[in-house]
Structure 1
């Protein structure tokens, strides 16, 4: 396989899933959210990419803070 496809597969498999989570929250397709990020990045010269990284960081922190615990002793 080409190195480009290996890199693409890696990001698709182990990405931050920001677009999917935003799409689930808004009730729309993830493809629409991804396309919006791409267009926003081109139009604003990188703001969309910066926004995507910020949301990935924020969702990662949120996942760490709001983990479900089965009992009090899981702390």
Structure 2
């Protein structure tokens, strides 16, 4: 049956794909946060406000990576 996936197989593989896409999005977000910190480094308030956000996104990326590896 070419072109016809089993619904069970599709639903079993979909969460792994979604977690991988989320990991790519979080890594892109990390790069943008770092770029913002570098570009606005002269403005001390902006930099200081971004550091906790950067740490939170690093934590989220680590959790996402752990979930992806466990699947």
**TM-score, normalising length: structure 2:** 0.35
Question: Is the helix fraction higher in 1 or 2?
Answer: 2
**TM-score, normalising length: structure 1:** 0.34
Larger radius of gyration: 2
Greater RCO, 1 or 2 (C-alpha within 8 Å, sep 6+):
2
